[in-house]
Amino acid sequence: MQTALTISELRDAYSGGLSPVQAARDVLARRAIADPAIWIEPVPDDVVLARAARLAEGPKDLPLYGIPFAVKDNIDVAGMSTSAGCPAFAYRADESATVVRRLEAAGALLVGKTNLDQFATGLVGTRSPYGAPRSVFSAAHVSGGSSSGSAIAVAAGLASFSLGTDTAGSGRVPAGFNNIVGVKPTRGLISAAGVVPACRSLDCVSVFANDATEGMAVLAVAQGFDAADPYSRRPQARTLPPRFRFGVLAAKDQAFDHADGPALYAAAIARLASLGGVAVEIDYAPFNEVALLLYQGPWVAERLAAIKSFAARHADAMDPTVRRIILGARDYSAVDAFEGQYRLQALKQMTDTAWGTMDLLLLPTTPGHPTVAAVAADPIGANARLGLYTNFVNFLDCCAIAAPAGFKADGLPFGVTLIAPAFHDDALAVLAGRFATETAP
């Protein structure tokens, strides 16, 4: 009998006498028959079992005692390679990222490093020489990215939680495509020390979990100020009013790629309203223009800054689509960068007007869910489409939680994202948890 891998169920099993060694054996048995494209470097079986045995001999009251987790392979783990999805870039890490050290100190059990869109550049999950994981609901459809393997590891029952990263939606899109929760915290709450940057000023480490409560339990351990990360920030507790206002899209801005979208989104709006919310229709235009800046503005140059030495010497080793995007940064000047900053500041003022009428946003996580074939036919356009409702979030310093919100007629999941200004993480998680309870049959 396989061990259930939600954090709550594992905790109950451990209280009932289950050993972390047995739980680890179950995880390894599942991993052996899972899609190999989920992983770039699994932790060897004997190492996992030895670490589980040490946990079994130690204190049992650690907050994440014996909880198996996976890490996106742009995050350092001591003694393992960090490839960022590019074999020619890979290096052996001497020290684990701060967030990994925090989680392991809390008793979490690392089982492997997961696949991703190369250099965390993509929302599709297909831009990797290590293979392309698929949605757990359809082998014909993309997993979502860039944190593809991390999301699938949780959705397929190979880990209780996982770490991803999120710049444009990489911690939310794959959650939506696989019916799990993606916690994109306020930038800087989780240290990015030991993480290969995509856009350093916008990046954050994200958490995939089975529900919002479990995701926030991980965040509670993972977060904390770290002087080694120049963008690290200390938490600030901010609340939402009992009678909260939430922004929703006007019909003209509901750009769904499937017929079920309007009804499923309307049902999610009604569900949130039943929890004490008041829906407020917003003008999405300035949010959309902010979103476009990420790849159609000078911020793409920040992706080149992250790997400029490697790109100068090994451009031919990069995924062709990723290379085209990142090397396109050479077309931008310092003048373009400043003009982009000026435009972003003007757009922030416009979105501030919208925030004056609402406490949070409820948006579809994506307009649709493309097939692998559709992405292959239009790799840039299909990817850009997926960022329609996600790309603005880090620009505007928001936190977000992607949550399941039903299923379409084709059997694929539909997801929504709750978005609030920085430091509303805990309050947003409570609301997301209540929303999920209402969503459950």
Per-residue pLDDT at 124 = 98
Give residue-wise pLDDT tens across range 170-209. Answer: 999 999 999 999 999 999 999 999 999 999 999 999 999 9
Residue of 170, 191, 206, 232 marked catalytic: 170
Q: Is residue 79 part of a domain?
A: yes
Which range marks the domain in which residue 272 is found?
A: 245-397
Determine whether 146 is an active site residue: yes
Q: Is residue 275 part of a domain?
A: yes
Domain identity same for 198 and 290: no
What's the whole-number mean pLDDT along residues 252-257?
Answer: 97
Q: How confident is the model at residue 2 (pLDDT cuts 50, 70, 90)?
A: low
Residue of 96, 143, 146, 232 marked catalytic: 146
State how many domains the chain has: 2
Domain identity same for 327 and 180: no
Give residue-wise pLDDT tens across range 20-69. Answer: 999 999 999 999 999 999 999 999 999 999 999 999 999 999 999 999 99
Amino acid at 139: A
Domain identity same for 194 and 276: no
Return the minimum-mean-pLDDT range out of 3-12, 108-117, 183-192, 274-283: 3-12
Determine whether 72 is an active site residue: yes
Whether 302 has a pLDDT exceeding 80, the answer reads yes
Q: Is residue 331 part of a domain?
A: yes
Per-residue pLDDT at 237 = 87
Domain identity same for 125 and 268: no
Q: Tell me what the pLDDT averaged over the chain comes to.
A: 96
What's the whole-number mean pLDDT along residues 243-254?
Answer: 98
Domain identity same for 249 and 157: no
Kindly report the CATH number assigned to the domain that includes residue 335.
1.20.58.1700
Q: Is residue 415 part of a domain?
A: no
- Write down the pTM of the prediction: 0.97
Q: Is residue 428 part of a domain?
A: no
Domain identity same for 202 and 274: no
What's the whole-number mean pLDDT along residues 144-157?
Answer: 98
Kindly report the CATH number assigned to the domain that includes residue 149.
3.90.1300.10
